[in-house]
Chain A
Amino acid sequence: MKLLAPFGLLLSALAAVVYLDDTPPRADLVFVNSGEVFTLDPQRMSWIQDFRMAYALYEGLVRWNNADFSIEPAAAEWQTSADRLIYTFSIRPDARWSDGAPLTAHDYLYAWKRAILPDTAADYSNMFFVIAGARAFFRWRTEALEAFAAQSADLDPEDRAPAALALWKETQRQFDTIVGLKALDDSTLEVRLDRSRAYFLDLVAFGVFCPVYRPAVEGWRVDQATTEAIRLSGWAHVPPPAFADRRFVTLNSATGRLEQSHGWTKPRHLVTNGPYVLSHWRYKRGLQLRRNEHYHSPQRIRSDRIACISIEDINTAVMAFASGSVDWLTDVSVDYQADMLAERSAYENRYADRIKAALAAGSTLDEALAALPPPQKGERRNIHLFPAFGTDFYSFNCRPTLANGRPNPFADARVRRAFVASVNRKMLVETVTRLNEPVVTTLIPPGSIPGYRSPEGLPFDPESARAELESTGWADRDGDGLVENDQGELFPIVDLLYSTNTPRYKNISLALRDMWQRQLGVRVELRGKESKFFKEDLKSGHFMIGRGRWYGDYGDPTTFLDLFKTGDGNNDRGYSNPYVDELLERAASEPDPQRRLRILQDCERFLFQEDVPMLVLCQLVQVYMYEPGRLSGLSRHPRLTQYLWQIEVRDR
């Protein structure tokens, strides 16, 4: 009995814990996000799953029409000056925060200032550097902080806090004088750019430009009268409380830095201006959104409640979907994904004629699928492949010498062209990845940017590949199937670097090795590394050919082409060509949008026909699971921005 007593006690305690746990009610739309939501602070977001929440909770000044990615007004209308340097946004008068306070130009000014402030540690800060003076302000504050940290140790402890506050006030003054951002009145925001930027409005539609509500972000502790005044006319008309009365921000007196805690992004604290408000958020269990009663266009909202649940293991998520507890899976990257897609093809092939007829009659693919008889064994219609705004590629190391000091054969563009032309991309996507991704020969996914026409890159042509390699002096002189130079030395063993976090890159790398050995007669050695070590090697140029991928950030060719700029932080190839730099610079200073896009097209053509610093393979794809006809409102545009408020689940 002595032994049983503790067990009995434990058992009843456990039962109580489980019993007392609360679970929110079932929502109208339940989906599994592409990963754990990291933050609901729009200025600090950098992951797709976070942005998906941002577009439901907040509303930017403008928004993409996610069918064609043209820009449409969201919280504001805009006007542009003749030289395209000044944008004036007029905020709609009925726009409100979820606590009823009016949305004003000060809200955007405040949010954007946060993003530019180094203290926020926002990794998209540089997107704001298109605003005149923003970069200069960022640098000024960084240097001022370094100087402050160096001096503050010598100050008396009591003098440090006032010094930090003085620096903070000076920072505000600097911002107002240096940065081209101004709230002309409560409803008008004026933005001055550093130079004409054709894609500026596309940036403004991006999640990091969403507004945040200052009294909530800083956790203002104010009296009832002030709260009423804020609700009536906005926080900009009341004096902000002292730092001691702000719950979520502190000025560190030793470093002078503004330190922000993120208590404000939790339910009960978070105030938003978008279609939804946050009703639940429990760590690793998921979050729930509820319709925002103060939203200005309620007719736009399709589902009253949305639940985003956390299931880390995709295998389990697929089972949860199959059991019917989830309506939409945003990531299906499991081993048997290709098999499920094959089942989908089998279904589509069986009804190919009926689908074609339905599409011709004007219905969407999902509607056409929904009207068909249910799939039989070995078929399915609930898995969907969406081409995305990104590209899979392998980078050539373009530096003159390798990390080990040896000469780099890939510094020669002809060698790179030979390696590109000997790759059969179609074979790769059909038999290696088995996802049938759209094959591409250039980096920017074709058709993804309005007004931009992609050039053609190098096609698969093993004959010319061998000729190209021979023209550099590498030829099979002794008939052993391997290429040598005129001194009889074999082509250096190609060091092919890939990351081992998914089997995808191992499989592609193996296939590439095979193709290059067969077509070109070179020896290739695979080097698979865990992703952290892989990234280190890539960064330091310790590779000859390394796998890579890139997703565009905004709707302009430069979001891809800037990768080839000399010295760009993401230029893993160490590529540098004055001609490319010059074309990019010329495009940046070209006022005519059409002509500008043509210059960029020339640049991409040169990059992928002549200089080929990378071997592009295919457009990246996103695989979703949902029942067609039951779930609707998803965008098929490659930029794949899904607005949760557009999505609807029928016959629940």
Chain B
Amino acid sequence: MIRLIVRRLIQMPIILGAVYTITFSLAWLIPGNPLENPARRPPPEIMQAMLQQYRLDDPWTFYWDYLGKATGVSWLLGRHPRPFDLGPSLTHQDWTVNEILAAGLPVSITLGLGAILLACGIGLVAGVIGGIKPGSWADLATLGVALVGISLPSFVIGTALLVVFGLLLGVVPIGGWGRLSHTILPALTLALPFAAYIARLTRFGMIDELRADYVRTARAKGVPRRHIVLKHALKNAFLPVLSYLGPATAMAVTGSFVVEKIFAVPGIGTHFVNAVLSKDLTLIMGVVLVYSTLLILFNLLVDVLYRWVDPRIELG
């Protein structure tokens, strides 16, 4: 286990370095100029001065300068006052990327974890109901709902929820963040596709497990049905769900562009799209680095949990 963790942690900087380099090259190749207001071009001499001020006149200097500041190497060498400085945002001029992430990440994490919790709750219940009696009306109903949950885009679900609960019923506020009532609809919208997927995984897992020999043995021994389902079968059926939860959580906590946009949630999800559209290099690099780090850490966490839940598994 320790070896696994150490090895993953050693791999991390290499992976991050590759991600940084690839993202940087792609981002630099986006046409246009992040400092330019789309409506108007200032005279060339002024634009040149602006590019120089942000070191955007030379990719090579920018690449190394940013890498040094972001990783904290410049700080270790005493060339920069702060470690892990992701630089000033090029479009949101009054904010540094660190400030933007510090403001947005807690929001996205709150929303994402809330959504994953909801998704587990809905998905597991639906999956177990379906898995116990495959082919019954309850199973078909949950399968149908799961299909809708996966195939309906969240902007449709989100807008529909907003119109019904926000506008017509007036039970939740529209837009904004800070109160529990603000989080319900976005969390639900974000949760539905995950819930649908979890329901399907659980259902198939349950069907398989309930046919397994140990279940037959337990039944023959007279173990209560509730006990068999919840204590024995669900535990094993949960394993594929657990491995799905790693990337799903990483995805949910880094925010969703659509959900954040529709509900005006101040998370970091919209930056993944908007930063690229405005070629905000520092913000692009910042969110990509943070996202990759989270993804690697969540995968590691899931692997560790996996070992803990199912000691049979050997992780190399």
Contact = CB atoms under 8 A, between A and B. Distances in A.
Interface of A: 3, 7, 10-11, 13-15, 17-19, 21-23, 36, 38-41, 44, 46-47, 118-126, 138-139, 142, 145, 257, 261-262, 265-266, 282-285, 309-313, 315-317, 319-320, 322-323, 325, 531-533, 535-536, 549-551, 553, 569-570
A262 B309 CA distance: 49
B88 A262 contact: yes
Nearest to B121: A7
Nearest to B163: A319
A282 B110 contact: no
Interface stretch (B15-23, B50-58, B202-210): B50-58
Given A14-B113, A23-B179, A257 B53 contact: yes
A3 B238 contact: yes
Interface string B35-47: 1111111111111
B49 A569 contact: no
Contact of A316 (B47, B53, B262): B262
B132 to A, nearest CB: 19
B40 A325 contact: no
B128 to A, nearest CB: 13
A570 B46 CA distance: 14
A120 B42 CA distance: 14
Nearest to B100: A283
B94 A21 contact: no
Given A142-B45, A285-B176, A285-B177, A536 B93 contact: no
A148 B162 CA distance: 57
Contact of B261 (A139, A312, A535): A312
Interface stretch (B167-175, B189-197, B211-219, B292-300): B167-175
Given A123-B37, A313-B264, A532-B31, A284 B159 contact: no
Contacts of B114: 14
Contacts of A21: 177-179
Interface residues of B, number: 65
A635 to B, nearest CB: 21
Contacts of B30: 532
B99 interface: yes
A40 B93 CA distance: 9
12 contacts: A10-B113, A18-B178, A118-B52, A125-B46, A283-B104, A309-B175, A312-B270, A316-B162, A323-B166, A325-B175, A325-B176, A549-B39
B263 A316 contact: yes
Contacts of B120: 7
B153 interface: no
Nearest to A532: B32
Contact of A319 (B54, B99, B104, B174): B174
A36 B95 CA distance: 12
A284 B45 contact: no
Nearest to B99: A283
A18 to B, nearest CB: 5
Contacts of B179: 18, 21, 23
A229 B26 CA distance: 53
B43 A126 contact: yes
Interface string B49-81: 110111000000000000000000000000000
B41 A39 contact: no
A336 B44 CA distance: 40
Contact of A121 (B50, B91, B96, B103): B50
B162 A319 contact: yes
B38 A262 contact: no
A142 B45 CA distance: 9
Instruction: List 5 A-B pairs, minimum CB-CB distance, nearest first.
Output: A284-B266, A118-B49, A23-B178, A121-B50, A532-B32
Contacts of B309: 3
Q: Which of A120, A139, A262 has the most CB of B within 10 A?
A: A262
Given A315-B262, A549-B39, 6 more contacts: A13-B113, A18-B183, A44-B93, A121-B35, A125-B49, A312-B270
A315 B159 contact: yes
Contact of B175 (A39, A283, A317): A317
A41 B43 CA distance: 21
Contact of B266 (A17, A126, A283): A283
A23 B103 CA distance: 14
Contacts of A7: 117, 120
B178 A22 contact: yes
B279 interface: yes
Contact of B279 (A17, A120, A319, A532): A532
A262 B93 contact: yes
B106 interface: yes
Contact of B42 (A265, A312, A569): A569
Given A18-B180, A316-B264, A532-B31, A283 B42 contact: no
B157 to A, nearest CB: 14
A284 B32 contact: no
A310 B53 CA distance: 29
A532 to B, nearest CB: 4
A207 to B, nearest CB: 14
A126 B42 contact: yes
Contact of B53 (A119, A139, A266, A535): A119
B92 interface: yes
Contacts of A533: 31
A44 B49 CA distance: 13
B104 to A, nearest CB: 7
A38 B94 contact: yes
Contacts of B52: 118, 142, 145
Contacts of A11: 117
Nearest to B181: A18
A266 B219 CA distance: 66
Nearest to B37: A46
Contacts of B38: 531, 535
A536 B31 CA distance: 7
Contact of B110 (A17, A139, A535): A17
A284 B103 contact: yes
Contact of A320 (B42, B106, B174): B174
Interface in B120-179: 120, 159, 162-163, 166-167, 170, 173-179
Contacts of A531: 38
Contacts of B106: 17
A323 B261 contact: no
Contacts of B40: 46, 551, 553, 570
B94 A262 contact: yes
Contacts of A322: 167
B65 to A, nearest CB: 10
Contacts of B270: 312
A26 to B, nearest CB: 11
Contacts of A19: 180
B32 A535 contact: yes
A41 B262 contact: no
Contacts of A124: 42
A310 to B, nearest CB: 7
